[in-house]
Amino acid sequence: MEKIGVAVCGNSGIDYLVHDKEIRIFRSLLNIEKKEYEDFIEINSDDFYSRLVKNPNLDISTAQTSTGKILEMYEEMRTAGYTKLIVITISKLLSGTYQNAVLAAKMIDMEVIVYDSLSLTYVEALMAMTAKKMADEKKTAEEILTQLDKIRDNNHVYITVDTLKYLIKNGRLSGVAGALGSLLKLRPLLHLSKEGKVDTIAKIRTTAKAREELKQRILSEVQGKDVITFIVYTNNMAEMLDLKDELEESGLKNVLLIPLTPVVGCHAGPGTMGVGYIEKV
């Protein structure tokens, strides 16, 4: 009898959510001053952003989960009785995690479906929770993938950063664009495109205006739709609680607050904020 197992990468932020413990999580690594930490297990978001605020010049970098580590997870899931796996990853245009998961799948004698979420954070987490619920209901892999496609094709995430420093450091902007942005104190408004990459769609002068722009874009897009709305925060939870209140006062219900994981935050920096929605279809 078929038994489908579900796994998801830690870039989903699922560690910070109430979730079925049978969902397996494989986490990226954070290197701080040449010391290695497993995301969430050895350093959580509050600790990471606190350290980064105290020392903005910390030597930080990231590494995705190794192929060998992912293969070990597959083998453990097979031993646990799963006959087929659905493995959900951060967009392959944002990380090598997808490729490592695919490589590991070729090394084991069982069917492993590696699914590119084309996203990250709560979009990816919801996919994992949905897949596990459907697997428990004995839905087929094809039925589960059809539902994941609906989540993938009906969401939008906006992000703005408080400083261009980390985007420049990680190759998101050229040094010239970064210097100009710092001089003018611009806050780029970014979004996750349908192809799963981060694109700049506007440049805004202040954090307050960037936050207002996030709010207005979301409210405009979700009008008349049945949606799940979420806010992603870094070291700015108090401010994001205010934004949650504003969105709910504007008619949105039960807006979720989710921390940006340290590994993703390494590329965005403290002060980053995001707002996204997933349409229920």
**Parallel, antiparallel, or unpaired: how do β-strands 111-116 and 227-233 relate?**
unpaired
Is 53 inside any structural domain?
A: no
Question: Residue 269's domain is classified under what CATH number?
Answer: 3.30.1180.10
pLDDT at 165 (0 to 100):
77
Verify that 137 and 70 share a domain, yes or no.
yes
- pLDDT of 184 > 80? The answer is no
Q: State whether 182 and 275 are in the same domain.
A: yes
Q: Would you state the pLDDT for residue 149?
A: 98
Q: Average pLDDT in the 224-249 region?
A: 97
Give the list of residues 6+ apart from residue 82 with CB closer than 8 angstroms, or none: 3, 4, 5, 110
Residue appearing with tokens 């009898």? 1
Domain count, the chain: 2
**Residue 241: which domain range?**
155-279
Which of 92, 123, 153 is the last residue in one of the domains?
Answer: 153
> Is residue 35 domain-resident?
no
Residue 90 and residue 187 in one domain: no
Last residue of a domain, which of 127, 153, 179?
153
* Tokens 């892999």 -> residue: 141
User: Based on the number of CB atoms within 10 Å of its own CB, is 184 exposed (0-12), middle (13-18) or buried (19 or more)?
Assistant: exposed
The average confidence (pLDDT) of the chain is: 93
Whether 47 maps to a domain, the answer reads no
Q: pLDDT digits over 258-270, tens only?
A: 999 999 999 899 9
Residue 183 has pLDDT above 80, yes or no: no
One domain, residues 90 and 193: no
Clarify whether residues 168 and 122 are in a common domain. no
Q: What is the mean pLDDT of residues 69-77?
A: 98
- Based on the domain organization, do 129 and 178 belong to the same domain? no
* Residues 263 and 167 both lie in one domain: yes
- The string of DSSP letters for the chain reads ---EEEEEEGGG-GGGS---TTSEEE--EEEETTEEEEBTTTB-HHHHHHHHHH-TT--EEEEPPPHHHHHHHHHHHHHTT-SEEEEEES-TTT-SHHHHHHHHHTTSSSEEEEEE-SS-HHHHHHHHHHHHHHHHTT--HHHHHHHHHHHHHSEEEEEE-S-SHHHHHTTSS-HHHHHHHHHHT-EEEEEE-TTS-EEEEEEES-HHHHHHHHHHHHHHHHTT--EEEEEEESS-HHHHHHHHHHHHHTT--S-EEEEPPHHHHTTT-TT-EEEEEEE--
Establish if 49 belongs to a structural domain: no
Q: Are residues 113 and 206 in the same domain?
A: no
> Quick check: is 135 in a domain?
yes
The CATH number given to whatever domain includes residue 110 is 3.40.50.10170
- Asked if residue 50 is part of any domain, the answer here is no
Q: Are residues 113 and 10 in the same domain?
A: yes
Residue 57 within a domain:
no
Which residue, of 130, 153, 176, is where some domain finishes?
153
What pLDDT is recorded for position 173?
52
Q: What is the tens place of the pLDDT at every residue in 128-177?
A: 999 999 999 999 999 999 999 999 999 999 999 887 778 767 655 544 45
Are 162 and 142 in the same domain?
no
Beta bridge partners of 87: 7, 114
Q: Does residue 98 sit in the same domain as residue 218? A: no
Q: 216 and 84 share a domain?
A: no
CB atoms within 10 A of CB 21: 7
Per-residue confidence band for 122, with pLDDT thresholds at 50, 70 and 90: very high
Does residue 54 form part of some domain? no
